[in-house]
Structure 1
Amino acid sequence: MTTHFITAEIDLQESPVQMQQAIEAELQKRGEPLRWAVTGIDADSQKAQVEAVVTVAAEANP
């Protein structure tokens, strides 16, 4: 298992619950999120900058 620091841009949502679900869905595509934080908001483009640490299962060596 390895850990990776990633950043992602997420479209702003109408409610905090929808925002959390959108963030977690995007991070799940890249691994299992350990922690994440919204680190910036761009009001013009309606995007949130998210930084996260995710774990990824190591592939078995043949």
Structure 2
Amino acid sequence: MTTHFISTEIDLQDNPHELQLAIKTELQKQGEPLRWAITSVDTEQQKVKVEAVVTRIS
């Protein structure tokens, strides 16, 4: 098992619960999320930048 730092952009959602689900779904494509944070919000582009640490089975 290895850990990886990743950064991704997610479409901004109207509902905070939907945003959280979208983030978790996207991160699980990269591995198992250990922790994540929204580091910036671009209201013009309707995107949020998320940085995370995920684990992957080697």
* TM-score (normalizing by structure 1): 0.92
SS at 2:54's partner residue? strand
Percent identity among equivalent residues? 62
Equivalent residue number for residue 24 of structure 2: 24
Q: How far apart in 2 are the matches of 1:44 and 1:31?
A: 29
Once the two structures are TM-superposed, the CA of residue 14 in structure 1 deviates from its matched residue by: 1.1
Alignment partner, residue 9 of structure 1: 9
Amino acid at match of 2:51: E
1:41-52 correspondence to structure 2 within 5 Å: 41-52=41-52
For the residue of structure 2 that corresponds to 1:18, the secondary structure is helix
RMSD, aligned CA:
0.4
Could you say which structure has the larger radius of gyration? 1
Moved over 4 A (4+): none
What TM-score do the two structures reach when normalised by structure 2? 0.98
